[in-house]
Amino acid sequence: MTPFKLTDELLDQIQLLIEAGKDSDLQESMQEYHYADIAEITNELDTEQATYLIKLLDSEKTSDVLTELDEDVREAILNQLTPKEIAEEIAELDSDDAADILGELPADQVQGVISNIEDKEHVKDIVELLRYDEDSAGGLMAKELVKVNENWTVLTCVKEMREQAKNVTRVHSIYVVDDEEILKGRLSLKDLLTTSTRTDIKDVYIPKVDYVRVNEKPEEVAKIMSKYDLEAIPVVDEIGRLVGRITIDDIVDVIREEADKDYQMAAGISQDVEADDSIWELTRARLPWLILGLIGGLGAAAIMGGFEEMITKHAVLFYFSPLIAAMAGNVGVQSSAIVVQGLANDDLKGSISDRLWKEMLLALFNGLILAVILLLFTWFWKGSFETALAISISLVVVIIVAGLVGTFTPLFLDRRGIDPAIATGPFITTSNDIFGILIYFTIARWILGI
Amino acid sequence: MTPFKLTDELLDQIQLLIEAGKDSDLQESMQEYHYADIAEITNELDTEQATYLIKLLDSEKTSDVLTELDEDVREAILNQLTPKEIAEEIAELDSDDAADILGELPADQVQGVISNIEDKEHVKDIVELLRYDEDSAGGLMAKELVKVNENWTVLTCVKEMREQAKNVTRVHSIYVVDDEEILKGRLSLKDLLTTSTRTDIKDVYIPKVDYVRVNEKPEEVAKIMSKYDLEAIPVVDEIGRLVGRITIDDIVDVIREEADKDYQMAAGISQDVEADDSIWELTRARLPWLILGLIGGLGAAAIMGGFEEMITKHAVLFYFSPLIAAMAGNVGVQSSAIVVQGLANDDLKGSISDRLWKEMLLALFNGLILAVILLLFTWFWKGSFETALAISISLVVVIIVAGLVGTFTPLFLDRRGIDPAIATGPFITTSNDIFGILIYFTIARWILGI
């Protein structure tokens, strides 16, 4: 497949068609594109053009386009549509996407939109989904699924399924429930292909079925689905009733967002921004961390001011302060990143003290190697073995402390229920800068005796 | 679902059963666990115990356990098995997993294993897959899929499918090919549920089908599948013949690995390591970046040595050198992270010069705010407005340069076909340390006139 590529020429051409009002040409040229591609195009149009395009195209297609748009673009377009027009879009969507879009509308518009949706079953599903926390399995799931009663025969089941399948984009598993809607097990489509129609469902279903509770965190759902290679997972309520289903495509989005967030956090960017956001949005995401870094630097400067008396005899100590701060920061970030990933992937075994002990040995080992390089460089450069030794010994201690802080902080945050990912990046760099400089000058003064 | 949690008690209990040779108890207790959970347990056993467990359990289950094990544990276990035993495991696996495991064996063992697999069709598939580069769509795909000829009727198709479906764990789409095996389109299982058996396939299949080429990069496949919400994608060779299929569970692994790699790279860890790896492995992953950081620090120290004459009158300049280095590093990492993510998600629009211009404005804006804080702090602390101003102006210039370097480097690497993710982390921090210190002292000297 030649992947779709949004070129400037294509965009110009579409804008020309919109401005000239060439509706049928426009419809025809959009025909060939996937809704995700049309969303990519629409994101680049101004609100008026985008709204024109959405109104022009069939709502069967535009409803999916809406779900793929950037949030601000979608908001602007929905603002231009009447409740009835929005209702037409939402009627075409699966309940989870419908609820997501409805959840973004101002509260006073929701009622108007809902009253314009004809399918009352669909409305009921959407309203139910609106109740769940966005950051939970309930907020991710869709109501569309195929379920059969354990008391049916395969024949009844196939008949019912044909009916239900019309509303379900992808059938993964057929869920089996009892008369109380309690989830009992599952049937695979493949099994149905190979079982006689007279069999009772009771006798063929697989009683072992993975499921999650409505209030489970999305990251947990993602972990379970990817660990067990599931493409869909049923969601049950507090008493075990089947209430929805989460599919892997939603989980792929969760994993990507989670990874993007952690990456940005490690890089000192505090909210989800993209390269094409405004300077103001980028500043809001970046400046707080820079101010934190600035405070760290001011702290380091103040500490160095306290060692002023050393500057005449040991100026060289001051030359190495950026090196010490950088090494403390780098080691801290490395250690915390490994812990953060271990926590995210659930593969941290053993106690905190074991982990700190191992990190100490590792830091000692790495620190000694680095100290030898530093010792030789400084000795040859400045000719004073004593100074070189003092700087090198300090470096080893700084690296050990930085490694321990980097290991301990995310573990501590995690125990307190705080996302450990905030520990990497500027937070650990800044505190390690201050610690590092303080330890460095203290030890150096102690060794050099001034 | 109560997620499986590997406790020390459980592990002890299993080890006791193994040591006591209580085979039937062991088999029974393993019965209830998912293969991914058994793999988690096996990873914690020593090689002898692990091999015992794998040999004891049914190869229908252990084959899947093997695919989920840590690579080093798997290697150790396979070392203990005879070619015939390995062949039994591989016979149970889908072709893609089978080829992955076979690909890890020493070349002289592969022949022995292959000759012990009875199903010659399966062997043919595996051998074909071994030919493809691991880092390509061909290396990810499986040969198991359901395909029908466009010249068949729905009835023939259903009959053939029942046969083929036996070998396919999950049927997503039915692919339609012509007599030359060229991919023509697809049928959904749902369509088959609702179409009369006498219809010709030619008349019902959907000619529009997304596919990838065998030599496509895994990250590209991941992008396409997650953009278009696909759960499986067919793979075609250079002349369009259907040769395999990639399913979303493999793509979830690709996305996770990719995210982990980028995160580690940003944190200055050069190869895939986990918290539980040995100190030696962790050192190999961490030390190179620390040495790079050390070189940056030595460079900064050497530069500061060149400004020695300023130390008597302007010692305070030296106190702020860690601050300058840290800010240069932080800004550089932020800018490069945003570009790296934009490149990864394909949402960087516009030219390089536009992007540099925007980054310059952003850096100027953020730099001015930070400079004002720094100015006030330094002025009140040291009482010299002139020095405070010199330091603050230098900071603004350093931040602008750091932002430009951070933006330009990943864009440049990307154009040269190098993974831009290496630009974040210690690489950019180190170069910005040196640049930053040099610019800072040069400008300060120029303003303060010494």
ipTM of this predicted structure: 0.81
Residue-wise pLDDT tens digits, B169-214: 666 778 999 999 999 998 877 677 677 778 888 888 888 889 999 9
Helix (H) or strand (E) holding A376: helix A352-382
pLDDT recorded at residue A345: 78
Q: Give dist(CA A95, CA A75) in Å, integer.
A: 19
Residues of B in contact with A161 (CB under 8 A): 193
pLDDT recorded at residue B263: 85
- Chain A nearest-CA distance from B240, in A, is 10
Q: Give dist(CA A407, CA A111) in Å, integer.
A: 51
- Is residue B153 within 8 Å of B201, Cβ to Cβ? yes
Amino acid of residue A268: G
Helix axes B426-448, A321-344, angle to 10 degrees: 150
| B8-135 carries CATH number 1.25.60.10 | yes
> What is chain B's mean pLDDT, rounded?
88
* Topology at the third CATH level for domain A279-448: Tetracycline Repressor; domain 2 (1.10.357)
pLDDT recorded at residue A2: 62
Q: Which of A7, A247, A251, A338 is most worth mutating to test chain B (most B CB atoms within 10 A of its CB)?
A: A338
pLDDT recorded at residue B163: 75
- Chain A nearest-CA distance from B270, in A, is 10
Q: Is the dihedral of CA B345, B350, B353, B354 positive or negative?
A: negative
Q: Do B326 and A296 touch (CB under 8 A)?
A: yes
pLDDT recorded at residue A1: 56
Q: Say how many CB pairs under 8 Å bridge A and B.
A: 338
pLDDT band, residue B39 (cuts 50/70/90): very high
pLDDT recorded at residue B258: 86
Q: Give dist(CA A190, CA A202) in Å, integer.
A: 17
Q: Which of A262, A297, A320 sits opposite B301 (nearest CB)?
A: A320
| A146-247 carries CATH number 3.90.580.10 | no
pLDDT recorded at residue B68: 92
Residue B367 has pLDDT above 90, yes or no: yes
Q: Comparing C-alpha atoms, which of B392, B382, B404 is closest to residue B444?
A: B392
The CATH class given to the A8-133 domain equals mainly alpha
Count of residues in chain B:
450
Report strand pairing: B173-177 vs B146-149.
Answer: parallel
B188: left (phi over 0), alpha (psi -120 to 50) or beta: beta
Amino acid of residue A290: L
Residues of A in contact with B294 (CB under 8 A): 323, 327, 370, 373-374
Amino acid of residue B405: V
Q: Do A275 and B355 touch (CB under 8 A)?
A: yes
Residue B413 has pLDDT above 60, yes or no: yes
Blockwise average pLDDT, block size 10, chain A, 450 residues: 78 92 90 90 92 91 92 92 93 93 89 91 92 92 90 84 71 86 85 76 87 93 90 93 93 88 83 80 89 91 89 87 91 90 79 86 92 91 86 94 92 87 78 91 86
Residues of A355-385 as b/e, b for ≥16 C-beta within 10 angstroms? bbebbbebbbbbbebbbeebbebbbeebeee
Strand order in the sheet with B212-213: B212-213, B232-236, B242-247
CA distance to A441, B89, B365, per residue, from A447 (Å): 10, 63, 44
CA distance to A442, A443, B216, per residue, from A449 (Å): 10, 10, 64
The CATH class given to the B146-251 domain equals alpha beta
Q: Do A320 and B334 touch (CB under 8 A)?
A: no
Residue B1 has pLDDT above 60, yes or no: no
Residue B31 has pLDDT above 80, yes or no: yes
Give percent above pLDDT 90 in chain B: 48
Q: Enumerate the domain spans of chain A.
A: 8-133, 146-247, 279-448
**DSSP code, position B175:** E
- Chain A nearest-CA distance from B115, in A, is 30
Residues of A in contact with B224 (CB under 8 A): 1, 3
pLDDT recorded at residue B125: 93
Q: Which of B210, B302, B320 sits opposite A297 (nearest CB)?
A: B320
Q: Give dist(CA A261, CA A255) in Å, integer.
A: 10
Q: Which of B274, B321, B336 sits opposite A322 (nearest CB)?
A: B321
Quick one: closest CA in B to A165, which residue? Answer: B190
What ranges make up the beta strands (E) of A96-249? Answer: 146-149, 173-177, 183-188, 212-213, 232-236, 242-247
- Chain A nearest-CA distance from B407, in A, is 10
Residue B154 has pLDDT above 90, yes or no: no
Residue-wise pLDDT tens digits, B218-235: 999 998 998 888 889 999
Q: Do B327 and A294 touch (CB under 8 A)?
A: yes
Region B128-153: mean pLDDT is 91
pLDDT recorded at residue B169: 66
